[in-house]
């Protein structure tokens, strides 16, 4: 009897691992066919590989409109793009910007926080 329960447990674990594998391939291939019960692994490998090829970046466009296909120039273009994206060009009217920021610390609280420290 003990041996039967051991085999039963092994079959349950095997089924669980098969379900995990199916989920893995469904996520990798992003295919809806897996939920219909198709276990054609070769087909899913082909879909996943095709998706990887499709999502690969083969060329980038510079700010001046020219196209670059050299992977070594990609780093420079990407760095320039994100440097410009996150850099500040300065604020002309700081008061207008500050008016849009909600006040979280009342004047009395600020005075208390800015007071010199003393042990009570």
Structure tokens at 50: 């095709």
Q: Judge contact between 23 and 33, C-beta under 8 A.
A: no
Per domain, the residue ranges of the chain are 1-56, 58-115
CA atoms within 13 A on the CB side of 43: 10
What CA–CA distance (Å, rounded) separates 23 from 34? Answer: 8
Looking at residue 35, its pLDDT comes to: 54
Check residue 114 and give its pLDDT: 92
* pLDDT tens, the chain, 120 aa long: 677 777 778 778 888 888 888 888 777 766 555 554 456 677 777 777 887 777 788 888 888 889 988 888 888 888 888 888 888 777 778 888 888 889 888 899 999 889 998 886
DSSP SS3 for 67: strand
Structural Rg of the chain based on CA atoms: 30
């Amino acid at each position: 009897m003990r041996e039967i329960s051991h085999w039963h447990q092994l079959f349950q674990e095997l089924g669980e691992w098969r379900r995990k594998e199916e989920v893995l391939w469904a996520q990798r291939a992003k295919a809806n066919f897996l939920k219909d019960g198709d276990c054609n692994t070769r087909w899913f490998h082909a879909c996943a590989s095709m998706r990887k090829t499709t999502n690969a970046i083969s060329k980038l466009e510079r700010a001046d409109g020219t196209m670059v296909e050299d992977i070594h120039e990609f780093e420079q273009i990407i760095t320039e793009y994100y440097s410009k994206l996150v850099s500040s060009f300065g604020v002309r009217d700081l008061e207008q910007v500050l008016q849009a920021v909600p006040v979280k610390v009342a004047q009395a609280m600020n005075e208390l926080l800015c007071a010199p420290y003393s042990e009570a």
